[in-house]
Chains A and B, each alone.
With several copies, the nearest count.
Chain A
């Protein structure tokens, strides 16, 4: 019966979500270093979930990518996973962000897709702020 026991223990949050939620190392403000600081916000119309992405960009590189979230564990975990993945890489790598991949790895229930789309909105907003020329957006 281990097959039923584990989901029962974890509930709607898989190991990864629990780990990221418990220890969100990228939560908080970005020290932008000597680069430029960008902020992008997205929130649900009903004033439910909110997300704030804060980036420190130096020569097309995301020297820092941080978040603040008011929202459910899946959104916190998704934000943390995203910052973890893209911090230190080129800004235009952010285009590889994929809602469906994230939902799959984090086991986000479909009815919560709206929350993850919020994260996508924030990323798009961030991208549109950062100097458009350095980035190939197609």
Chain B
């Protein structure tokens, strides 16, 4: 494929979606190949049984990645659905325990809008702001808790900045108050080590396409603990413990299973690769005057680097960066042109937020991709600053 320049795109937008792992694609295609391998897992015959067995295998594979019991995993169509099911489902199921809920201002829209919907149902929502480093102070969470608080939802890795919240400490606090804790781990599963036997997490949302699996399949982890339950959002054929009905998407589930297995095998290797890339990228950009790194550098997933630049307009910067594929703000509001609410929550002005570029990369990103990004970024910023009136610089 070519871009408008005639050169191939350089894809540094892994936080939006990752390329699919070739082995995942092969496994999915194989399941289409033979008629007898593509069954309805609810059917009472050999083709149905084979589908069920493949789905069980995938559930085990994902269970191993997370160190979770396979039966605590519910297949969904992605993190958006998982998040909705976790937040809306738990809040409704547990409404008798209280109608106060806590989240953060820097969550993904799926989380933010699930809470908006609950507010319309009469729940009360506290939205805590992080510090300028992007991190939620635990004391703020503690101070926000009330007797009526029944659910806390704080994401693991932020999709725009890569900032990591301390979900262990948050979960521990929640347990001590008998409050359910959900974490949106769409950006961390398959990338950071997650041990759900050890972590005090009740509900965790994930999606395959952020770790080299297929789009349109995800899961909700629901701990097998008293009080940890959700009311379903969809009703029907009884699949997924009646929590998520519909014919199981066999090839999709096989795909997420294989992606989970590969991610587990390569976790350390991939993490060290992106750490090296991030160091290289930051070294290359660091010298540019008037740039700011969004989100702290310490508690941070190294596969995402988000940079604002003074005196540069975001949309022109994006075009000047072609054939680089990067994001300005979250992929989810890319179309809207609104300044990122996440960056504004970190104290950025509209202009600073609009100038932000998110670089995100993964196992297949090479050092020369990074070097090209540095070169293009430097020249684009300097060119646009030359064009701009002085007052804007």
Please report A residues at the B interface, Cβ cutoff 8 Å. Answer: 4-5, 7-11, 13, 18, 21, 24, 27-28, 41, 46-52, 68-73, 76
Contact = CB atoms under 8 A, between A and B. Distances in A.
B387 to A, nearest CB: 4
B53 A4 contact: yes
15 contacts: A4-B53, A4-B56, A9-B2, A11-B45, A48-B351, A50-B392, A68-B387, A68-B390, A69-B387, A70-B387, A70-B392, A71-B313, A71-B316, A72-B316, A73-B315
Interface of B: 2-4, 44-46, 49-50, 52-53, 56-57, 311, 313, 315-316, 319-320, 350-351, 354, 386-392
Nearest to A68: B389
B387 A27 contact: yes
B4 A10 contact: yes
B3 A70 contact: no
Given A11-B49, A41-B389, 12 more contacts: A4-B57, A8-B46, A9-B3, A9-B4, A11-B4, A11-B46, A27-B387, A49-B313, A50-B391, A68-B387, A69-B389, A71-B316
Contacts of A47: 350-351
Contacts, number: 70
Dominant secondary structure of chain A at its interface with chain B:
mixed
A71 B387 CA distance: 10
A49 B316 CA distance: 11
A8 B316 contact: no
Contact of A13 (B52, B53, B319, B350): B319
Contacts of B3: 9
Nearest to A54: B389
B138 to A, nearest CB: 36
A4 B60 CA distance: 13
Contacts of B350: 46-48
B333 to A, nearest CB: 15
Given A46-B350, A76-B387, A8 B50 contact: yes
Contacts of B389: 41, 50-52, 68-70
Contacts of B53: 4-5, 7-8
Contacts of A4: 53, 56-57
A72 to B, nearest CB: 4
Nearest to A24: B387
A76 B316 contact: yes
A71 B4 CA distance: 21
A107 B392 CA distance: 26
Contacts of A41: 389
A32 B4 CA distance: 36
B4 A18 contact: yes
A70 B393 CA distance: 9
A18 B322 CA distance: 11
A9 B316 contact: no
A11 B4 CA distance: 9
Q: Which 5 A-B pairs have the closest CB atoms?
A: A70-B392, A68-B389, A52-B389, A72-B315, A70-B388
A124 B390 CA distance: 21
A9 B5 CA distance: 9
Contacts of A9: 2-4, 46, 49
Contacts of A13: 4, 319
A7 B390 CA distance: 34
B387 A8 contact: no
A70 B313 contact: yes
B311 A70 contact: yes
Given A8-B46, A8-B50, A9-B2, A72 B57 contact: no
Contacts of A68: 387-390
A66 to B, nearest CB: 11
B374 to A, nearest CB: 20
Contact of A21 (B45, B311, B319): B319
Contacts of A46: 350
B391 to A, nearest CB: 7
Please indicate which of the listed interface residues A7, A8, A41 has the most CB atoms of chain B within 10 Å of its own CB.
A8
